[in-house]
Structure 1
């Protein structure tokens, strides 16, 4: 029975993470000023706008940050944690649940950026058209992270700025997200 529960929880996590990916893409594409004419951007906009339009009436953007998309991502992570705890038959303390959802969101965004930076750096080694829709969107999302280091870590013909950004993202997971998870677990148990 435990194996079936583990398989079901894995499928639930994948479903919630796919939903969160859509809203994180919307959040980061708007923050990076991705080209709206891009077909991938239009897909993301089309499927997130029915949820975000009513929330944006109450919670407008702050600078280039779509606070409505951020709130929806947080709520997706909160519901995911609540469902996973319900599968285990336990109910955590509310404060622990809120902190765990925040830790989930932070870790998710860090891993998302890590995958995008790695994929972008890998694709940049091949002759991929810069006009490809996916490449354009990834470039718009990754560029704000790479811009401060671009051109400063070049050795020969190699730019090591993506490697440094990936190391910083991994360190952020270890030094920020992991302690937040520990604190959330501690609060969820009620100690």
Structure 2
């Protein structure tokens, strides 16, 4: 690929990752019942609701999971994958494209939680204001993931539960997302 195509590919990936993150935060915030009065929650609701409102009429929530927003994350990653393939001059087979975009979704969710847990841990270690909107939203999103280990991994006054959860998420990327990527690649090429 030429340098210009690499730059264009990077810009596409950044733009689509930002869109997917917006919808994924909406899914996570609703699933964890994050504080709606948080300015970040209101921002996310305001900018995702026009897209999600018509979809939610057809695809309602399942328990506390906003399936319409999850569908939008998947579709965003599918379109991104299709554009990247198009830039390379390759048109994948549909089953491979669907599996690759599902692998992208799984990997994106795992990476999202790794980054949020790492950022939240770093900010809390630096004694940032716990009432900052981003810290409150991140704390609400990761609390259900950390809750099973909370208090069980304490050494001295340091809680290692975020570290253990990040290691588990990294292993999930290797053991779950990577094989799905391999399967999708084989199917995309017709093999």
**Normalised TM-score (structure 2):** 0.98
Superposition pairs of residues 1-191 of structure 1, within 5 angstroms: 2-191=2-191
CA offsets 1:57-116 (integer angstroms, 9 cap, x no match): 000000110000000110001111111111111111000000000111111111110001
State how far apart, in whole Å, the 2-side matches of 1:104 and 1:7 are: 20
Give the C-alpha shift of residue 126 in structure 1. 2.1
State how far apart, in whole Å, the 2-side matches of 1:121 and 1:89 are: 42
Contact 2:124–2:130 (Cα < 8 Å) also in 1: no
Gaps of 5+ in 1: none
State how far apart, in whole Å, the 2-side matches of 1:185 and 1:16 are: 20
* Equivalences, count: 191
Partner of 1:64, secondary structure, is coil
Give the C-alpha shift of residue 21 in structure 1. 0.6
State how far apart, in whole Å, the 2-side matches of 1:83 and 1:133 are: 34
CA offsets 1:146-184 (integer angstroms, 9 cap, x no match): 000000011110111000000000000000000000000
Give the C-alpha shift of residue 24 in structure 1. 0.4
State how far apart, in whole Å, the 2-side matches of 1:13 and 1:124 are: 30
